Chains A and B, each alone.
Chain A
């Protein structure tokens, strides 16, 4: 609790004790009023002051005003009863103020706590960077002062303060604060590391590649801190609602206090004005809109916080709201559903080749050893051993076909079907899908190697999970050729494929889908952030995936998935759905209880105590419900 909150707590205790004591003090009339004024002022002086200044500045109709009018009115009524020989209920006015303050205190503690929880989840801000001085001693400096290209030292247990490349040492990094992923990442010399990760085992020396302000950690903090600024429709609705609602209930209360007594008086009956005034005051207490005004933003804040603990950064509550209405999901294939790296998936020596699979792969890797093409790289990676380039001579690249070379004196040709055709050789059709590298050894067809972009393990699950989360249609866009695209789509269960697209075609394809969808349905585009900024911004919600380290993606997207797991998208939709459900629950619950109590109050069934429940009780319940947004589905995330 903060100092301010503690002060309120002491005031609450003091006022409550005073009230209990006063209950046993025999007093009447003005004396009784004065006695009860003591706890009343102890507990309510700040509300009265705020209400007073509100009226002075023309800011009537806020909850301070409501509370001041209701309690002052109750006191006057009690005094009136007392002076007319009855038993004045001074305690009621004080109690309303007391419970109002208890509710406010509770809410402020709850909000403060959830704010702290969320900041703890996002506690990735590094406080310092270690720079090695000339004498070899480590010096702690402000990360903002470290220049690009400087070498910083990260000890075990410390956060990496700035993005960079490891120049010395190896270690495993805990990335859970960034990605929600609990499996540590191994890094060694030459690898890029991202700020915000925690170094767990070994000492690392890192050459920085960015300034602190441009580093991942700063970008993410900036994004999270600003996420509250983009407000959801629901939030804006509540704001507008409160603007009309509060004056409306105030005037209704006024009407309730004035009209029935006047009508009674005109009809010649007893005007009962004190009864109606009391009902009007009850009405005012019930009507306070705090439950909505506080719980709705809290729900969104909790939802965004809960999502970020799972490595899902949502840039504003409006996106959270829209995510819950996602019906169309459009994927970019490469890097999103597939890993975006080529791998050897099959080695098929033909019957005419008198060697093993490894032998075939070795010839391919050697023949392609001078090429930088991704396919050649994947061949060398699959081979895995060091290549002795002196063994390779007479290399001849044939553009669009492949390569011919002498490997250890053996004539090797590696390339596509056209190369085989050129060499006048019969080749086997590949049974798998992907890029095929045919090989000829000593002018005889030797077999082929199949290379394909590998589908991510979670992709299939992700598509199923999206369907389960209410997504109606999944579409995959790709620049790849149709066979590959349809093969991948078939394996994953994607509804629709558009293949052989140029980058510009992707925007057109998304626009066509945008026209098809009904109003209120949302289209999400998921890309890996490379070259798809236009599509990201064109879709209702642009989601960038695997964004660790890619600033462009973080800026262009509305939702950022920190790691490259497509399942996180389904999780984001589930979280947003839960959050919106809680928001709706709170709106319906609060309004329903208020409406019922208002009616009961107007006809005189609800007394002040029910009114206090309708105000403070409903608020407490709504806040508790809103806090549930913080908890993401536990089995998914680290948080």
Chain B
């Protein structure tokens, strides 16, 4: 399953760091962050609980980039 989230991040490098961090979260198969469109696209593993995975993604991203934001609708 794939989902796209709106994000807020200030610099291109930070977006890269978020991408790296998101990829390492359990339940995430693939993640791409586009700094230009301010979007994060996440592909989840099968049977993954999207809400809890995204919470960990946000946490992981905050760790590498303290003032980033992911809008989990």
Alpha-carbon gap, A290 to B11, bound state (A): 9
Taking a contact as CB atoms under 8 Å apart, the answer to whether B16 and A239 are in contact is: yes
Flag whether B64 is at the interface (Cβ < 8 A): yes
Flag whether B4 is at the interface (Cβ < 8 A): yes
For the complex formed, measure the closest distance between the CB of B21 and the CB atoms of chain A, giving whole angstroms.
9
Taking a contact as CB atoms under 8 Å apart, the answer to whether A104 and B12 are in contact is: no
| Interface residue tally for chain B (C-beta within 8 Å) | 20
Taking a contact as CB atoms under 8 Å apart, the answer to whether B17 and A59 are in contact is: yes
| Interface residue tally for chain A (C-beta within 8 Å) | 29
Flag whether B10 is at the interface (Cβ < 8 A): yes
Choose among A228, A242, A290 the residue that contacts B36 (Cβ–Cβ < 8 A): A228
Flag whether A298 is at the interface (Cβ < 8 A): yes
Alpha-carbon gap, A202 to B32, bound state (A): 44
Taking a contact as CB atoms under 8 Å apart, the answer to whether B64 and A297 are in contact is: no
Main secondary structure of the interface of B (DSSP, over half): mixed
Taking a contact as CB atoms under 8 Å apart, the answer to whether A104 and B39 are in contact is: no
Taking a contact as CB atoms under 8 Å apart, the answer to whether A228 and B34 are in contact is: yes
Which parts of B1-18 form the interface with A (CB within 8 Å)? 4, 10-13, 16-17
Given contact pairs A53-B66, A226-B4, A294 touches B11 in the complex (Cβ within 8 A): yes
Flag whether A63 is at the interface (Cβ < 8 A): yes
Choose among B12, B32, B41 the residue that contacts A293 (Cβ–Cβ < 8 A): B12
A-B pair count, CB < 8 Å, reads: 61
Complex interface bits, B53-73 against A, C-beta within 8 A gives 1, otherwise 0: 000000000011111000000
Choose among A62, A107, A228, A289 the residue that contacts B37 (Cβ–Cβ < 8 A): A228
Contacts of B4 in A (CB 8 A): 225-226
Flag whether A366 is at the interface (Cβ < 8 A): no
> Could you pull out 22 A-B pairs where Cβ atoms are within 8 angstroms?
A57-B63, A59-B17, A59-B63, A59-B64, A104-B11, A108-B11, A111-B35, A111-B36, A225-B37, A225-B39, A226-B4, A226-B39, A228-B39, A229-B32, A239-B16, A242-B13, A242-B16, A289-B13, A290-B13, A294-B11, A298-B12, A298-B36
Contacts of A54 in B (CB 8 A): 64
Taking a contact as CB atoms under 8 Å apart, the answer to whether B64 and A57 are in contact is: yes
Contacts of A293 in B (CB 8 A): 11-13, 16
Taking a contact as CB atoms under 8 Å apart, the answer to whether B13 and A63 are in contact is: yes
Q: Which of B34, B41, B64, B65 has the most chain A CB within a 10 Å cutoff?
A: B34
Flag whether A49 is at the interface (Cβ < 8 A): yes
Contacts of B36 in A (CB 8 A): 111, 115, 228, 297-298, 301
Which parts of A298-319 form the interface with B (CB within 8 Å)? 298, 301
Alpha-carbon gap, A289 to B11, bound state (A): 12
Alpha-carbon gap, A63 to B63, bound state (A): 16
Choose among B12, B38, B39, B41 the residue that contacts A297 (Cβ–Cβ < 8 A): B12
Complex interface bits, A510-539 against B, C-beta within 8 A gives 1, otherwise 0: 000000000000000000000000000000
